[in-house]
Amino acid sequence: MSVRHALLALLSEGPKYGLQLRQEFEERTGDVWPLNVGQVYTTLGRLERDGLVEADDAHEDERQRGYRITAEGEKELAAWFGTPSEAGSPPRDELVIKVLVAMRVPGVEVGDVIQIHRRHLVELMQQWTRIKEDEGRLDLALALAVDAELFRLESVVRWLDAAEGRMKRSSLGPAPAATPRPRLRLRARSR
Amino acid sequence: MALLEMHRVTKVYGEGASQVLAVRDIDLSVAAGDLLAVMGPSGSGKSTLLTIAGSLEDPTSGEVVIDGQLLSGMSRNDKARLRRRSVGYVFQDFNLLPGLTALENVSLPLELDGVRARRARELAAAALEELGLDERVAHFPDELSGGERQRVAIARATVGERHLLLADEPSGALDSASGEAVMRMVLAACRRGLGAVVVTHNAQLASWADRVVFIRDGRLVDQTAIPPSPESLLQQGSEP
């Protein structure tokens, strides 16, 4: 999650104090991602070092320092909005590895491994869904953040369902002919 | 008192070598206020479970109790009466009667049960109003959107004294917003004291339930624990 760019976005509305940035960040993101003050100031320090924000003298008192976005910062923010967010798969997805490995380990029932994870995911989804229950008090930012989490978790459940179905079909179907398997490699990632 | 109880319910189709065990040894209980989701892939037996729960089909063995009344040994007529009075169904494809208006679709089951036409229409209008359809009462199903049709189906399933709602993939082909709306209505009905069983393969729909049971090859294999309060999610890590 880019705290850096979120802070730039908040500062693009006008100069602000560190504490104010923290509060607004939490409000805008539906209080789903709490931010500690230390993080805010560390990030502001780096943004200042990189010339993307600067101290705002008019917005300063003896207790806290004000910040404003620079022209460079505006450019960086526009570039961020215009760039697709990272959507590649994580370098090693633990759940995928676990299921693939479980298929080959004697004495491990891969269906049980799948179900343990499926149940856990659905329990998490139940908790997220509860947040949406009181529609009248649900703010838009929170609803969007909760939806994002639900769709993410659901996609994992759907993969588990599909994996289970595929394994079932393959165990019922004819034995595969002994042809050499094409080697598929996920592109190496440098993250 | 439980609105629905199933004890060791098993259903076998066919005989001999072609025998299929659709559901086996199902134990299930739904009390007033409960929203239970049954989650499983197609062919897992979840729809069979629902038709048996609603007395549309008899189990091969085991007992079903609706509203404290044991179904085995009941005459076909008595079962039909119990079904009309106590059980409401919502199907994937809504199953509204195309030649009847929204209001008539909802009032019909009451009239079939002997409620006088005028009273049935009042109750139907109230049920539709509750679901925000007061301006659509005179429309025919083909004049309604998919989401509206499903709301009519829910009104029909909950109208009158019915207090057990059985739903089979109730959001069918609706988009996710309409699917959510359907589950909100089912949940609201449960908060008013109905009991509901929703069978679905969709985890987002299932997650509206208080309890989710998982069905595989006709057996209930697992269920969720009662979820902790959502606050615990919002207090988690503040990683950058």
In degrees, rounded to 5, the angle at the alpha carbon of residue A108 between the alpha carbons of residues A182 and A119 is 95
Which ipTM score applies to this complex? 0.88
Per CB-CB distance under 8 Å, the chain B contacts of A43 are 240
**Range A3-82 has CATH code 1.10.10.10:** yes
Number of cross-chain residue pairs from A and B with Cβ atoms under 8 Å apart: 78
Q: Report which of B106, B163, B162, B100 is spatially closest to residue B129, judged by C-alpha positions.
A: B106
Domains defined along chain B, listed by start: 2-12+20-221 (3.40.50.300)
Least CB–CB distance from B207: residue in A32, A36, A129: A129
**A3 contacts B234? CB cut-off 8 A:** no
pTM of the model: 0.83
Q: Which residues of B touch A39 (CB under 8 A)?
A: 238, 240
**Cβ(B59)–Cβ(B10) under 8 Å?**
yes
Write out residues 97-136 of A within 8 Å (CB-CB) of B: 111, 115, 118-119, 121-133, 135
Sort strands B211-216 and B61-66 into parallel, antiparallel or unpaired: unpaired
Alpha-carbon gap, residue B86 to B83, rounded angstroms:
5
Indicate whether B240 pLDDT > 60.
Answer: no
Q: Would you state the pLDDT for residue B238?
A: 40
Contact B230 A31 (CB under 8 A): no
Domain ranges of chain A: 3-82, 94-172
Residues of B in contact with A119 (CB under 8 A): 214, 222-224
Pairing verdict, β B87-90 and B164-168: parallel
Partner residues linked to B4 by β-bridges: B30, B66
What are B164's strand-pairing partners? B87, B195
pLDDT tens digits, B24-40: 999 999 999 999 999 99
Q: Looking at residue A185, what is its pLDDT?
A: 59
Return the SS3 of B61: strand
**So what's the pLDDT on residue A183?**
63
Mean pLDDT of B119-131: 91
Spatial contact of B168 and B47, defined as CB atoms under 8 Å apart: yes
Q: Residue A59: pLDDT band by 50, 70, 90 thresholds?
A: low
Is B240 within 8 Å of A1 when comparing Cβ atoms?
A: yes
Q: Does A167 contact B at CB distance below 8 Å?
A: no
Model confidence at A169, in pLDDT bands (50, 70, 90)?
A: confident
Q: Which of A181-185, B98-102, B222-226 has the highest mean pLDDT?
A: B98-102
| CA A76 to mean position of chain CA atoms | 21
Report the candidate in A87, A52, A47, A90 with the shortest Cα–Cα distance to residue A69: A52
Cα separation, B194 vs B3, in Å, equals 9
Mean pLDDT of chain B: 89
Positive or negative: CA dihedral B196, B202, B208, B214: positive
- Per-residue exposure over B79-106, b if at least 16 CB sit within 10 Å of its own CB, e if not: beebbbbbbbbbbbebebeeeebbbbbb
More confident residue, A84 or B206: B206
Average pLDDT over residues B143-152: 90
The two beta strands, B35-39 and B211-216, are parallel
